[in-house]
Amino acid sequence: MDIADIATREYTQVDSDERVAKVRSSFDGGGPKSILVMEDGEYAGVITEKQLLQSHVDDDTKAGKLTRTAPQVDRTENVRDVARMLVEGGVKLAPVFEAGRLWGVVRENDILEAVLSNLDVLTVEQIATPEVVTVREEEGVGRAINVLRENGISRLPVVADDGQLTGVLTTHDIANFVVQRRDRATRGDRAGDIDRLLDLPVEDLMSSPATTVAADATVREAVERMLEQNYAGLVVTPDDGDDTIAGIITKTDVLRALSYTEEEYMDVQITNVALLETISREAIVQEVEATADKFAKMQVQHAHVRFHEHRETLRGTPLVQCQIRLRTNLGQVAGSGEGYGAESAFHVALDTLERNVLELKGTRADEEYEGQLLRKLGEL
List alpha helices for 166-232, DSSP H.
171-184, 190-199, 219-229
35 and 95 Cβ atoms separated by less than 8 Å: no
Looking at domain 124-254, its CATH superfamily turns out to be CBS-domain (3.10.580.10)
Classified as helix, coil or strand, 371 is coil
10 Å Cβ neighbour count for 289?
14
State phi, psi for 238 to the nearest 5 degrees: -60, -40
- Exposed, middle or buried by CB within 10 Å (0-12, 13-18, 19+), for 64? middle
CATH 3.30.160.100 domain range(s) in the chain: 260-360
The predicted pLDDT at position 178 comes to 66
pTM value?
A: 0.67
Classified as helix, coil or strand, 173 is helix
CATH node for 260-360: 3.30.160.100
Pick from 227, 224, 248, 226: nearest CA to 236: 248
CATH 3.10.580.10 domain range(s) in the chain: 3-114, 124-254
10 Å Cβ neighbour count for 268?
22
pLDDT tens per residue across all 380 residues of the chain: 778 888 888 888 888 888 887 787 777 655 677 888 888 888 888 887 777 766 667 778 888 888 877 788 888 888 888 888 888 777 888 899 988 888 989 989 989 998 888 898 889 998 888 888 899 999 998 888 888 877 778 889 999 988 889 999 988 788 777 656 655 555 445 555 556 777 889 999 898 888 899 999 999 999 999 999 888 899 999 876 677 899 999 998 898 888 765 444 457 888 888 889 899 888 998 898 888 777 766 677 778 898 888 878 888 898 998 988 887 766 678 888 899 999 999 999 999 888 887 766 544 333 333 344 445 444 44
Contacts of 100 (CB under 8 A, 6+ apart): none
State phi, psi for 249 to the nearest 5 degrees: -120, 130
**From CA 60, how far away is CA 190, in angstroms rounded?**
14
91 and 109 Cβ atoms separated by less than 8 Å: no
The predicted pLDDT at position 262 comes to 47
The predicted pLDDT at position 371 comes to 46
The predicted pLDDT at position 374 comes to 47
The predicted pLDDT at position 92 comes to 84
DSSP annotation of 370 reads: -
What would be the CATH architecture of the domain defined by 3-114?
Roll (3.10)
The predicted pLDDT at position 39 comes to 87
- In sequence order, what DSSP letters do the residues of 90-128 get, joined into one string? T-SEEEEEETTEEEEEEEHHHHHHHTGGGGGGSBHHHHS
Instruction: Report the b/e string of 225-264 with b at 16+ CB within 10 A.
Output: bbeeeebbbbbbbeeeeebebbbbbbbbbbbbbbbbeeee
Sheet with 135-136: strands ordered across: 135-136, 155-159, 165-170
